[in-house]
Structure 1
Amino acid sequence: MKRTAMIATAGVLALALGGCGTSSGDGGGGATGSESQGGFTAPDVPMTQELGDNEGSLTVLAWPGYAEDGSTDKSVDWVTPFEKETGCQVEVKYFGTSDEAVNLMKSGQYDVVSASGDASLRLIAGGDVAPVNTDLIPNYADVWSFLKDRDWNSVDGQMYGIPHGYGANLLMYNTDVVSPAPTSWSAVFDDASSYAGKVTAYDSPIYIADAALYLAKTQPDLGIEDPYALDEDQLAAAVDLLKKQREDVGEYWSDYLKEIQAFKTGDSVVGTTWQVIANLAKDEKAPVEAVLPEEGATGWSDTWMVSSKSEHPNCAYAWMDHIISPEANAAVAQWFGEAPANEKACDLAAKGFCDTYHAGDESYAEQIHYWTTPIEQCLDGRTDVTCTTYQDWTQAWTEIKG
């Protein structure tokens, strides 16, 4: 269970994504990106057309737990086999937030980065990452199809990275206190007063999307089609809901250990969580269950992206192919606590692991609204309004928490 010490947080102080350039060209998948991103296009950054000899070196920027070399746990090492196989000596730097990752990638010092959906569009728009030629990555063929060509990893049908792992933000509750068992996010919104002072929520501006998703289902007149595409009125409605919820929140969490402890002591009895946290809490005898509510949920899908300034592109492509190989992807998923992106990884994972994390369950995945950076160009395709940006969300989050 040491893997959970490596769980990444997604708290971000993101700047608004802005600026458009020319199209990045064809290749890599369907043409859903441009349409769903309200006309957003990427700077004209060249894509690698063919590979040559490996350069012997690679700099990796990653969430903690994504590039283990045996130094954390001798039995957990997928970097050393890569080095032996390719001759690419790996130097890893970990980051703690998506904002930090974006700033570090702008320096041009790193070849590849594991980017969450609240960072990837910023990296694309800034010209910091290059389009990825998926034909040069054999293991890409075995990635679940529903993770490909999505709003956060492609633009205008061009893939800008390789899907790595994903998961949902679930509703966890104390089975001794919360009855009947909740099936809706109303337990932490409209019905939160029933558990006043013992509701917990994720501590990040991106949590605004959770409120927006709930409103999309319960107040359809607001017209929310995408929880990451909110105009001023829709954002105001989400903020009002979260301010009301604030009266019943005992603690906002970003540290999974603190959330586990709060559910063990009874200080928290209902709130948002991750599957791996629910598993750990049960292991520590906390009386909890976690569900995907009927409204669906937000979640994350991380992507390996290659720097537009990479000095080691051959090693970078070798790494992206290696890290989503069945062996490495299974190892990372189990250490980190998420569903693997490679279908064949489930053949190598521990018995029942992929079932627990719903890996490959497309109907389950369709209920997840993956973190995506809010931008002025409405991600739901609207062109008659300007949508709010992550900067707006950050300011709103400060108001919500008081």
Structure 2
Amino acid sequence: MASFDRRDILKGAGAAALATATGMPAFAQSGGRVVVGTWGGDYARLLTKNVEDPILKPKGIEVVQDQAGDAPRRAKMVAEKRLPRGTVDIQGLSAANMFEMNEAGVLEQIDYSKLPNAKNLLPTMKYPYGMGHIYSGNVVIYNPKIISPAPKGFKDWLDPKWGSKIGFIDIQYQSIFIAASMAATGGKDMNDLEKAKEVLLAVKKAGARVYPTNEAFAQAMKNEEVGISAIWKARVVQWQNAGIPCEAVSPIEGIPTYVSGFVIQKNAPNKDNAYAYMDAMLAKAPQEAFAVDMGYNGTVTGLNVDPALHKRIGFTPEEEKTLKDLDYAFLAKNDAAMKEWWDKVFKG
């Protein structure tokens, strides 16, 4: 959900100019090639394993992954806006960043008639400018050995009584603002930034810790340096699988959703192949595989997910009623101010 700054824009513009000037293999060729912008690590590996190798390669479609963080990739999309042909066909972004890129005027409006598998796509995952691929919800994570009684929601997480056992993940600052606002308003408002700041300053004064990455926080949980925070439920499952002592609680204030989706650039060289890639991600087999491999919920109906796994990664029918999509327009408008306060006041 992070925004990008002027340095990201310059990097993106430089990369676009270099690709154009040197003839680097960034442009997808028609009839058999597609360039996919995605995060590296597990996501990229699982796209290859579950989508590209079993579905697209047998059709003769060559896939080239453009791996980078979302900020430089978004910067490059904006920098290439003036070009008749961009260097990437399809991009993986969070729902918030999909909204931002649509506002920037760089996205194709999706023709769902070109996606046969979209007939099974959940209505909430069908955006005019992109589609949801996988999703999870923001839950409270805690170590029962350290935190007792079990928390019930965000208000319990953000209780100063836990002192230095409260953990924050720096890159999740938007989610933290949302959770703090919900904690302060009993779940009635995700966007009350002033009340959120009051809650956060109270736990800062109590000694709450900030970790730069998900991985750094996971290590702190493993070492029992911290005992309570909030994170996507899928991440809790991954950490449980890695032997980190933690449990998940769906917050009583409501469950903010995280959607990882894909969009097609307006100036994509190979839009047909971009649609083919997008449709392949919505097929039953890869959707089920991502649930097993990554701990995220699929975005299409009719999946056959083991009940024990669904209990760990999914939500009960009652909890599903409390899932809350984010206010992407509000986040896009206020992201810079949120980040500035987070860096200068909360972390300062």
The one-letter code matched in structure 1 to 2:178 is A
Gaps spanning 5+ residues in structure 2: where? 7-29, 81-85
Specify the alignment match of 2:271 in structure 1.
313
Match of 2:124 among 133, 143, 146: 146
1:394 partnered with 2:348: no
**Residue deviations 1:45-86 (CA, integer Å, cap 9, x gap):** xxxxxxxxx721101011333343798xxxx34312233333
* Compared CA separation, residues 272 and 306, structure 1 to 2 (3 A): same
- Three-state SS of the structure 1 residue aligned to 2:43 is coil
**Structure 2 Cα separation of the partners of residues 369 and 389 of structure 1:** 19
Aligned 8 A contact 1:69 1:80 in 2: no
Alpha-carbon distance in structure 2 between the residues aligned to 1:237 and 1:333: 36
Quick check: 1:260–1:277 contact (8 Å CA) kept in 2? no
Q: Cα offset for 1:288? A: 2.6
Partners of 2:121 and 2:5 lie apart in 1 by 31
> What is aligned with 1:5?
none
Quote how far apart the aligned CAs of 1:102 are: 1.4
Distance, in Å, in 2 between the alignment partners of 1:250 and 1:215 is: 17
Whether the 8 Å CA contact 1:82–1:322 is kept in 2: the answer is yes
The reply to whether residue 85 of structure 1 matches residue 58 of structure 2 is yes
Q: For 1:305-384, what aligned pairs fall within 5 Å after superposition?
A: 305-344=263-302, 346-347=303-304, 349-350=305-306, 352-358=308-314, 363-375=318-330
- Number of residue pairs aligned between Structure 1 and Structure 2: 316
Greater helix fraction, Structure 1 or Structure 2: 2
Partner of 1:20: none
Q: Residues 110 and 129 of structure 2 are in contact (CA less than 8 Å); yes or no, is this contact kept in structure 1?
A: yes
Please state how far the C-alpha of 1:283 moved relative to its aligned partner. Answer: 4.1
The alpha carbon displacement at 1:309 in A equals 0.2
How big is the shift at 1:356? Answer: 2.0
d(CA) in 1 for partners of 2:47 and 2:314? Answer: 28
- Cα RMSD for the two superposed structures: 2.8
Matching of residue 278 in structure 1 with residue 251 in structure 2 = no
Q: Per-residue displacement from partner, 1:363-400 (whole Å, max 9, x unpaired)?
A: 4344233455444xxx8xxxxxxx95211111121222
Q: Residue 129 of structure 2 aligns to which amino acid in structure 1?
A: Y
CA distance in 1, matches of 2:242, 2:65: 32
1:215 to 184, 187, 197: 184
Pick one of 103, 118, 143 that aligns with 1:174.
Answer: 143
Whether 2:167 is the aligned partner of 1:200: answer yes
User: Once the two structures are aligned, what percentage of the paired residues are identical?
Assistant: 19
- Matched with 1:111 is 89
Measured after TM superposition, the shift of residue 337 of structure 1 is 2.3
Secondary structure, counterpart of 1:214 in structure 2: helix
Q: Distance in 1 between matches of 2:318 and 2:113?
A: 27
TM-score by length of 2: 0.81
- Asked if the contact 2:135–2:260 (Cα under 8 Å) also holds between the matched residues in 1, the reply is yes
* Residue identity opposite 2:311 in structure 1: D
1:68 aligns with 2:45: yes
1:235 and 1:388 in contact (8 A); partners too: no
Once the two structures are superposed, the pairs formed by residues 230-241 of structure 1 within 5 Å of their partners are 230=191, 234-241=192-199
CA distance in 2, matches of 1:121, 1:115: 9
**Following superposition of structure 1 onto structure 2, how do residues 42-57 of structure 1 map, counting pairs within 5 Å?**
55-57=31-33
Distance 1:91 1:285 in 2: 34
- Which structure 1 segments of 5+ residues have no match? 1-9, 17-53, 154-158, 380-386
Question: What amino acid maps onto 1:166 in structure 2?
Answer: Y
Does 2:220 correspond to 1:262?
Answer: yes
In structure 1, what is the Cα distance between the partners aligned to 2:238 and 2:290? 17
1:251 aligned to 2:209? yes
Q: Which residue identity lines up with residue 214 of structure 1 in the other structure?
A: A
Q: What's the offset of the Cα at 1:138?
A: 0.9
Asked whether the 8 Å contact 2:169–2:214 carries over to 1, the reply is no
Q: Structure 1 residues 269 and 201 mapped into 2: Cα distance closer, same or farther (>3 Å)? A: same
Q: For residues 139 and 301 of structure 1, do their structure 2 counterparts lie closer, same or farther at Cα, with a shift above 3 Å needed?
A: same
Which position in structure 2 is the counterpart of 1:101? 73
Aligned mates of 2:249, 2:274 — CA distance in 1: 38
Q: Which amino acid aligns with 2:45?
A: E
**d(CA) in 2 for partners of 1:201, 1:125:** 30
Distance 1:314 1:198 in 2: 51
SS state of the match for residue 396, structure 1?
helix
Structure-2 change in CA distance of 1:326 and 1:77 (3 Å): closer
Shift of 1:164: 0.5
CA distance in 1, matches of 2:202, 2:46: 46
CA distance 1:275–1:370, shift in 2 (3 Å): same
Change (3 A) 1:250 1:91: same
Structure 2 distance, partners of 1:303, 1:176, is 36
- Of 100-109 and 251-260, more deviation after overlay is shown by 251-260
- Determine if contact 1:162/1:303 at 8 Å carries over to the other structure: yes
- Equivalent in 148, 155, 160 of residue 186 of structure 1: 155
Q: Secondary structure at the match of 2:342?
A: helix
Provide the TM-score with structure 1 as the length reference: 0.71
**Hey, what's the Cα distance between the residues in 1 that align with 2:207 and 2:55?**
45
